[in-house]
Each structure stands twice: as structure tokens, then as C-alpha cells.
Amino acid sequence: MELKAPALYAPALRQIPVLIAGLVIALPVAIVLVTGLAEGGGAAWAHIRDTLLARYLSGTLAVLALTAILCLLMAVPAAWLVTMFRFPGRGVFEWLLVLPLAGPGYVLAYAWSDLAGVAGPLQSGLRAATGWSAREYWFPDISSLPGLSFVLACSLYPYVYLTARAAFIAQSVCTMEAARSLGAGAGRTFWSVALPAARPAIAAGLALALMEAAADYGAAEFLGVPTLTFGIVRAWKSFGDPAAAARLAFVLLALILTFVIVERWSRGRAGTQQSSIRWRQIPRAVLSGPAALGATALCTSLFAAAFALPVGRLVWRSLESGARSTRIWDALGNSILLAGAGAALAFILALIIALSIRARGPLATFARIAASSGYAIPGAVLALGALAVIGSLPVTLSGITALAALAWVYAVRFTAAGTEPMAAALARAPVSIGQAAQSLGASPLRRTFAVDLPVAMSGAAAAALVLFVEALKELPATLMLRPFNWDTLSVRAYAYASDERLAAAALPALLITLAGLLPVILLSWQISRARPGGAE
Amino acid sequence: MTGRLETISVTRSYGTRVIVENVTLSLAPGEITALLGGSGAGKSTLLRLLAGLEPVDAGEVRLGSRILSAPGRTLPPEQRRIGLIFQDFALFPHLTAARNVAFGLKHLPRDQAAATVDRWIGLLGLAGRAGAYPHELSGGEQQRVAIARALAPEPAAILMDEPFSGLDPALSGSVREAALAAVRAAGIPALMVTHDPAEALESADQIAILSGGRLLQSGTAENVYLRPASLAAARSLGAVNVFPRASLPASWQAAAPQPGGFVGFRPEGVRLDPASQTRFVVRSRRLMGPLVRLTLDGHGLQLNALAPPSSAPMQGAEVGVSLDPALTFTFASDET
């Protein structure tokens, strides 16, 4: 009998699926980069570079800076309050404050511009209360750069809230008690112990939020703020020059890469791992009087601004206008079909990558990195890549080809959201399970199907839901690649809003938000259970 | 200057569950008191009451003549000047060793604070490690940083919660000696929570035994070991053989002169005595390290004894046995 050394690397043949998965994901980005470099120097680019680039770049930078500040101001105090104190409504706010994640930025932009417009309820109420006419007072304008930042922060602050809250819960209570015994009051304990320890988690959440903000097209376009993503879609649509758009994408990708590097670098050498080996439930201090009132008021106004007011407005508008249009229900069917196809493709890719991570080949690493870079790249840029690929093939962008291209772009964008939970589920399962299967005579292939796959599936249900909803919310790529006259909910909402028909845009926007609630509720439920003492 | 740190009849409950009940304990400056008890005895809660991390439901916590805690009135920990050392050290992970030690020196001018940090870093043998982050330090080094950090602000008292149980056993002996020397040198009341009787006996000037939230006994190590107030107190410091007085051989009853229905004696108080007419048979013999544990059978009793390996009889041998009066106690009841 022949004895074989245990294979450290999977045999070459078994690496083919993960190689294909990696290439499928990496291709659109690679194509955009190549196109941008090789062909992007035409007249349109010269025009964009000389007249628009500075505006796009400064617009994007200003929006990101302001969004970052607003996200931090919204998320960190709220996370600290619900983690460390007891006040009326605390238990409810703990998960309510995650809900705004459900509404994409463009939906919030439509709702808020309707709310805060001259004819909207806020200004009408103000006029009714004061007797002023519309010219006699100043009111913040949502269609502005600060307005865009506000709307984006409202939909993206939960990323920071979630990571900050997890970091506050995870830190050693003993560390904070040690600080107090050394003479630090509540304020200094927060600023010099709790916050620095949570800083990397907060930075990671903020990096995610800013990537999403940089990828936003719908809100920026609707509110009329020139950003790079806005410019990319415009270069493709108005100038008809995908190569010039690819050059702009280059600038955007460089910006995103800078974020990632700065975030990594800012972690430095200082440790953030808690040395605590003992875990104790956080003894929440009870707030009373004005402090309790202030905490409740802060959480209430945050929830109202980011969710209750805009979503309430969408519900009101939908009821008012009714669901007369059959176009909405067609669009709903299309959305489900397309998001389902995209999620299915992403799911398969994610599964292949997650299963291959254990084999530790260089290809698995490549595919995993490709997937997480895909997640950071705006849909508009990926759509450019897909357009370039289709342009080089003997097919036209219509019908089934267009739908397949869209499913592909969704998969590239969102595979990482599926890989990570599945890889985590696999990592939690002891290695000995697989070894037990092999000792019982299972072949590697049977081991994959009979053991690894069911284990990965425990993280897969949540992943599939996230993938589906992310695909459903996607706007710019859908806008660029969809077959002619074939609408999804996001496209319908965008089209109505662009025509200033906000009442009609309300229903599709609301449906997107309601679908988005499903994974968010699942997520907050999982998080509240993840730590034995996180929930009460 | 600092005075004693005292609890006077303190009680603390969580809902209907009484965690600490009517405990009166006094910690003298310059002395280390070991607070000994099993898990759930209320040791950590008593420490938290002293530190001001929890309020008292009844009684008082005092430092010298100053009242720190009374029902409805708790001076917050940051105003007590009481140092804390935790089992997991609780170092600030984002600060270097030196900046951890400097954390409590905010009130000092910068150069003075730096000099104080240098002095403590040197005192605890951390000179080369001042710039290292906690995750770059060994367990023993982290422990010493925690001690330097707690002592540098010159606290009025220091409380240690299982300070050595997180360390490698091979390491904890030497670390403990150095650490407790620094604590003693500070000349302030010191409390060390522990579940290890050997550690308490070896390191503490005073031992306080806590069980079910109540203080069973407190006193010098020797006093508590040799004159336990109850069977429970005796057991918490080591093994005890206990029998009804009437069931003992007549010659032994004289070894326990005080009245009391039950007699207890420690295994090391069982003397193998060829002259004794009270004979037992060796049922089992097991080497426990430096000593041999013998199980002896006779007179309707079965008891444990300890003997050096060189003089311990073989299994099945018959031996004469007498009791050491110093290690024999009488109790009113055999309930623990």
C-alpha cells in the first residue's frame, strides 16, 4: 500500500473552481483599469479633466469629510449611551438605531427633500405656526452638499454605531474601573480609555460607511451635488465615452485605496486586544432626571431623522397616491428576479471561495482579496467594466445578455458579504470534524459535500438574505446595464424622483426600504445574541 | 496619615439575594489582609464595596475618620484614592507601560510625573520595558506594570482581586514576593482577595475568611490556623478530620480539653507514635509531594494523616497514633 503525505495544498485540479471564481470577480475591475489607462485620453477626457475633475474631486472629498463627521457625531455617543447607561427606552433604541441601514441613500434623499421642501410638511408647519411667508425665513436646503452629507450619514451611521457598540461591549469593564480608581471621572474614562480602545473598530465602521458614500450615485444626482461617481455615470451617459468614465473611476479607486491604507496605518502598534480574560456584564449606570431625558431625546431625534420621519413620509405618500400604477408591480417582479439571480451567482462564488479558504492555496487568497476589493468598488465602476467586456464580445447589450451582465456585477460587488459569514461558520467548526469524516473513509469530494457544505450553510441563510437585499437596493449599475424599458424598483424610484414625481417615487422607495429591513432585523438580532451579556 | 480602611456592618444584596451580610473588617496600614473564600463567598463584592464600585445597602465604609460609603451615599471611586489591581491586570491596551503607570499622575506637573513613573518602573524591574505595549509584555511584566500603576499615585489603600491567579504557577511565587514587598513598603492598608489558603497563609499578615457573604473569622494567619472559630473556618484553611467527641478513643479525648460535642484535628496533627497504645491500621498510602497521605483505620474511625516519606509506614502496617493538642480543636457542631 502506498502512503501519501498529507496534502498541504489542494491538488491543482481542485483549485480550478476557485480560480474561475477569482477571475470572474476580478475581471471587471481589471478591465476598467486597463481601459482607463490605455484608451481614456480622448477629447471627452480632456474636457472633463480641464473643467469638471476639480469640481468632482473637491465635491467628493467635501461630502466624505462632512459625512464622516456627521456619522461619528450620530453613532458614537448613541453607542456609548445604550451600552453604558440605563435610561428610558434604552433596550428599544439599542436595536432601533440599526434600522436606518435598511434605506439606501437615494431613498432617504427623496424622502427628506419631500419633507424639507418649500411645500413639505416641515416648512408648511413652520409657516402655519409663525404666519411667515416662504420668503421671510431661512430653511436648510437638502439639495446642497451639506444636505447630501446629512442624508448619507443618516443611512450609513449604523455601520459606525454597530462597530462602536460592539467595541464598547467587548472592552474589559475592569479597565474602566481601573481608570476610575486612578482618579479619572466618567468623562476622562470615556476620552482616554474607552474611546482609544474602540478607535480601530470605529475606524473600520467609518471606512465601510465612506466607501458606501463614495459609491453613492442616486442621492448625489438627485440633490445636484457633483461627485466622482456622479461624474462617472455622466461621462458614460452624456459624453458617451466609457473610456473617459474609466479614467474618472481611476481617480475614485485611488481615493478609496487611500482610505483603506490610512485606516490600516492608523492602527499602528498600539494594542487594542483586551487583555481581559474575565468577562463581566457591564454594570450600566442608571441615568435619572435631565441626564436620562437628554439621553432619550438624543436617541429619539437620531431615530426620527434617520428613519421614522423619512420612512413615515414615504408611507404617507404611498397611501395618499395609492398603488395604482401597475408599473410598480412589474418592477417589483423584475427586482426580485434580478436580485435573486445576482444573489444566487454571488452565493455560489462565495461558497466556492469560503470552502477553498481552508485548503490555504494562494488562489484562495487571491479570490478572497478579489471579493473584498469588489465590495469596495462602486457599482458604476463595475458596470463600466462589464460594458467593456460585452463591447469586446460579438453580442449586444440587450435582453438576457444585459440581465446576465447585471447579475455578474451584483455578484462581483456583493460576494464578500457572503464569503465572510460562511468562512466564519467554517472556521468555528472544529477541524476534527473533517478528519473524523476522512477516518471513516470519506473521499475529499464526499467530505466537501457531506461535511463542509452543511457546516457552511449555517452561516449561509443570513448571507443569502444580505446578498439579495443589497442587490435589490443597487442603483447605478442597474441604471447603466438594464435592458431598455426594463425597470426594477430602484430604477422606478429613481425615474419618478428625477421627474419630480416624488409621490409616485414613494411606493418603490418604501418597498426597497421594507425589503432592506429584513436582513437588518436579522443582523441586530444576531448581534444582541452574539455576546452572553450584550443583551440583558 | 491614611489610617485604617474599615467596613462596619456592611450589607449588599442583589434583589433578594444577600451577597455580603453584616461584615465588619478593619485593614491596618502597612499590613496585607487576605480575604479568603470559595467562589460565590462574596469576596469580590466586598472589594467592590471598599472601592466604591458598588453602593452599600447598610453599614459604612470608612477610611480613617472619613466615611466613604453609607446607604444612599457613595463617594465615587475616582475620589477615593484607593488603588485597584485586577486578576486580568486590566492594563490600558493602547498605552505603553510607562503611560499606563502615568495615568493616575494627572495632578502632578509633567516633569514630576515623569520622574515618578521612572522611579516605579525601576522599582519593579521594568526599566527596559517602559516603551512596550501591554500585549508585548509577559504575564509577570503586565502584573508588575499593574502594581506600579496602582501604587504610583500614592493611594490611601490598595485592593487586589486575585492578583496572582492569572499567572503561570511557576512564575507566581517570585512575582508575588516582589509585588507584595512593594505593597508592604507603601505602608497603606492592603487587601488581597484569594481562594488559595496556601497563598493567604504565606503572604498575609491578617486573614479574613468569608463564606456565604458572612465573615467567619479574622485574625493573624497563625491565630486563624491554630484557633479556628468554627469547623467552616478550620476547613477553609485546610483539611480537618472531625468526629463526635464520644466516638474517640478515651486517651484522645484529653487532647481536646475545651467543651464541645465535636473534635477536629488536622492531618498533620495526627502523630505516628510507637509509644501510643491507640493502634490503627494503614489502609492506603499515597505520596502527595513532600509528604505522604495515610488513611488510617481503627476504633470504628477512618482518618487522614500526613507523614514524611522516610518515616511513613507501609500499607497494612499497624501503628500507634496520638494527637498534637495544638492542632486539635473542639466545635459545638459539625455543620460547615
> Does the beta-carbon distance from B135 to A273 stay under 8 Å?
yes
pLDDT tens-digit map of B245-302: 888 888 787 776 677 788 889 999 898 888 888 899 999 999 988 889 999 998 888 9
Quick one: pLDDT band at residue A429, thresholds 50, 70, 90? low
Query: Residue A325 — pLDDT band, cuts 50, 70, 90?
Result: low
Q: Domain check: are B55 and B11 in the same one? A: yes
CATH of the domain at B77: 3.40.50.300
CB-CB neighbors (< 8 A) of B94 in chain A: 196-197, 199, 270-272
Selecting from A175, A185, A272 the residue whose C-beta is nearest the C-beta of B78 gives A185
Partner-chain residue, chosen from B94, B103, B106, that has the shortest CB–CB distance to A272? B94
Residues B125 and B197 in one domain: yes
Calculate the CA dihedral of residues B311, B315, B321, B325 and round it to 10 degrees: 70
Q: Is the pLDDT of residue A271 over 60?
A: no
Task: Report the gap between the CA of B200 and the closest CA in chain A (Å).
Answer: 22
Look at residue A273 and tell me whether its pLDDT is greater than 60. no
Are A174 and B76 within 8 A, CB to CB? no
Residue-wise pLDDT for B82-107, tens only, equals: 999 988 888 888 889 999 999 989 88
Q: Domain with B286 in it: what CATH number?
A: 2.40.50.140
Q: Pick the last residue of a domain from B206, B235, B264.
A: B235
| Per-residue confidence (pLDDT) for residue B336, from 0 to 100 | 61
Nearest neighbour of B153 by CB, restricted to A182, A269, A271: A182
Q: How many CB atoms lie within 10 A of CB B279?
A: 13
CB spacing of B88 vs A276 below 8 angstroms = yes
Which residue out of A190, A275, A279, A536 would a mutagenesis test of the B interface target, given it has the greatest number of B Cβ atoms within 10 Å?
A: A275
Domain-located, residue B207: yes
- Please tell me the distance from the alpha carbon of residue A114 to that of residue A127, in angstroms, as a whole number: 16
Q: Which residues of A touch B134 (CB under 8 A)?
A: 271, 275
Nearest to B133 among A177, A193, A271 (CB): A271
Among B185, B208, B235, the domain boundary falls at B235
Among B88, B116, B167, which would you mutate to test the A interface (most chain A Cβ atoms within 10 Å of its Cβ)?
B88
Measured between beta carbons, the chain A residues lying within 8 angstroms of B88 are 172, 174, 275-278
Q: What is the pLDDT of residue A452?
A: 72
Same domain as B245, residue B226: no
A161 closest CA partner among A188, A201, A122: A201
Comparing A465 with A217, which gets the higher pLDDT?
Answer: A217
Cβ distance A175 to B134 less than 8 Å, yes or no, reads no
B16 within domain boundaries: yes
**Residue B96 shares a structural domain with residue B158:** yes
Query: Do B82 and B15 sit in the same domain of this protein?
Result: yes
Please list every residue in chain B whose beta carbon sits closer than 8 Å to the beta carbon of residue A270.
93-95, 133
Residue B147 domain flag: yes
pLDDT surpasses 80 at A217 = yes
Using an 8 Å CB-CB cutoff, list chain A residues near B83: 181-182
- Considering the domain architecture, whether residues B108 and B175 belong to the same structural domain is answered as yes
With cut-offs at 50, 70 and 90, classify the pLDDT of residue A282: low
Closest CB to B88: pick one of A174, A185, A193. A174
**Measured distance CA(A396)–CA(B106) in Å, rounded:** 71
Nearest-by-CA chain A residue for B155: A182
Give CA–CA dist B108/B102, Å, rounded: 10
Q: What is the DSSP string of A363-387?
A: HHHHHHHHHHHHHHS-HHHHHHHHH
SS3 B214: strand
Size of interface A-B (CB pairs under 8 A): 99
B302 Cβ contact partners less than 8 Å away, ≥ 6 residues apart = B283, B295, B296
Residues of chain A with C-beta less than 8 angstroms from the C-beta of B150? 181-182
Residue A278 has pLDDT above 70, yes or no: no
Nearest-CA distance A153 → chain B (Å): 28
Residues B144 and B63 occupy one common structural domain: yes
Binning pLDDT at 50, 70 and 90, where does residue A268 land? low
* A466 phi, psi to nearest 5 deg: -60, -45
Q: Is the ipTM of this complex over 0.90?
A: no
Least confident stretch, A332-336, B71-75, B109-113, B181-185 = A332-336
- Assigned domain for B300 exists: yes
The mean-pLDDT minimum among A33-47, A333-347, B142-156, B175-189 falls in A33-47
Residues on chain A bordering chain B, Cβ-to-Cβ distance under 8 angstroms: 172, 174-175, 177-185, 188, 192-193, 196-197, 199, 269-278, 283
pLDDT higher than threshold 90 for residue B118: yes
pLDDT value for A386: 84
Is A180 close to B53, i.e. CB distance below 8 A? yes
List the single residue in B81, B87, B142 with the smallest CB-CB distance to A278: B87
> Which chain B positions have a beta carbon within 8 Å of A182's beta carbon?
78, 83, 103-104, 149-150, 153
Least reliable range by pLDDT among A8-22, A435-449, A521-535, B171-185: A521-535
Burial of residue A100 (CB within 10 Å: 0-12, 13-18, 19+) is buried
Q: Which residues of B229-241 are buried (b: 16+ CB within 10 A; e: fewer)?
A: bbbbbbbbbeebb
What is the structure's pLDDT at B92? 87
Q: What are the chain A neighbours of B75 within 8 Å (beta carbons)?
A: none
User: Is B258 inside any structural domain?
Assistant: yes
Pick from B180, B207, B235: which residue ends a domain? B235
The three-class DSSP label of residue B239 is coil
- Which residue of A181, A188, A286 to mutate against B (max B Cβ within 10 Å)? A181
B82-85 and B157-161 as β-strands: parallel, antiparallel, unpaired? parallel
Is there a single domain that holds both residue B177 and residue B198? yes
Distance of residue A176 Cα from the nearest chain B Cα, in angstroms = 8
B34 phi, psi to nearest 5 deg: -95, 130
What's the CA gap between A361 and A359, in Å, rounded?
6
Q: Closest-CA residue in chain A for B142?
A: A275
Average pLDDT over residues A235-242: 79
B136 and B253 co-located in one domain:
no
Domain that holds residue B113: 5-235
CB–CB contact B107 A278 (8 Å): no
| B96 falls within a domain | yes
Q: Which candidate, B178, B146, B34, places its Cα nearest to that of A172?
A: B146
pLDDT value of position A267: 63
Same domain membership, residue B197 and residue B59 = yes
* pTM, to two decimals: 0.79
Q: Which residues in chain B have Cβ-Cβ distances shorter than 8 Å to A170?
A: none
Q: Is A484 exposed, middle or buried (0-12, 13-18, 19+ CB in 10 A)?
A: exposed
Whether the per-residue pLDDT at A511 is higher than 80: the answer is yes
**Are B45 and B122 within one domain?**
yes
Q: Are residues B170 and B269 in the same domain?
A: no
In a domain, B336, yes or no: no
In a domain, B200, yes or no: yes
Name the domain count of chain B.
2
Average pLDDT, whole number, for chain A? 79
Nearest-Cα distance to chain B for A527, in Å, is 24
Write out pLDDT tens, residues B45-64. Answer: 999 999 998 899 999 999 99
Q: Which residues of B are less than 8 Å from A192 in CB distance?
A: 103
Cross-chain CB nearest to A181 (options B77, B87, B134): B77
